[in-house]
Amino acid sequence: MTTYTARPVPPEVLKELRSADDAGRGTVPVTDEEGGAPLRCCLRRSAPGESVALVSYAPLRRWAAGTGADPGAYDEQGPVFIHADDCPGPEGDGLPFTGSHRVLRRYSAAGRILGGHLVTPEDSFASALGRAFADPEVALVHVRAVEYGCFLYEVRRPGDH
């Protein structure tokens, strides 16, 4: 069975987002009193009392800038939580945030949406990713929350960096 790994927001991008987000706004740190925010820097939920920031992030735009793709109208930005200060990143490999309904949004190497798939808690997340990558046109998959449509993380084909 193929192993898939969630890709957090890269450290160099986090550094930029902590200065100004992808909408050009400055970052405003807040103390997360309750905890539970899905952090895209370390791919875990925040603990009560952690300093976090809600920033605007354009994952497809940033991926396209590195690959030369032109996502056109599929270029979008949306809110993501990150640690307000440096973070060590994820503690391991794997697929976090899979216990709820999620959408797998597939993209081609040109940056175009090839389709989406709703994954329920009863589904095998790894199997759903396997079905997504069974299409040779799929270059990457965005995992998104159903409730708000927010980007959670990216998964690329195994072996792609």
CA distances (Å), origin 86, targets 8, 41, 135: 14, 9, 37
Helix H or strand E encompassing 132: helix 125-133
57: amino acid identity, one letter: Y
Predicted pLDDT of residue 161: 61
Q: In what order do the strands lie in the sheet with 50-57?
A: 30-32, 50-57, 78-83, 38-39, 44-45
Task: Indicate if the pLDDT at residue 124 is higher than 80.
Answer: yes
pTM listed for this prediction: 0.93
Please say whether the beta carbons of 132 and 117 come within 8 A.
yes
Task: Indicate if the pLDDT at residue 1 is higher than 70.
Answer: no
Q: How far, rounded to the nearest angstrom, does the alpha carbon of residue 112 sit from its chain's CA centroid?
A: 17
- For 58-87, the pLDDT digits (tens) are 999 999 999 999 999 999 999 999 999 999
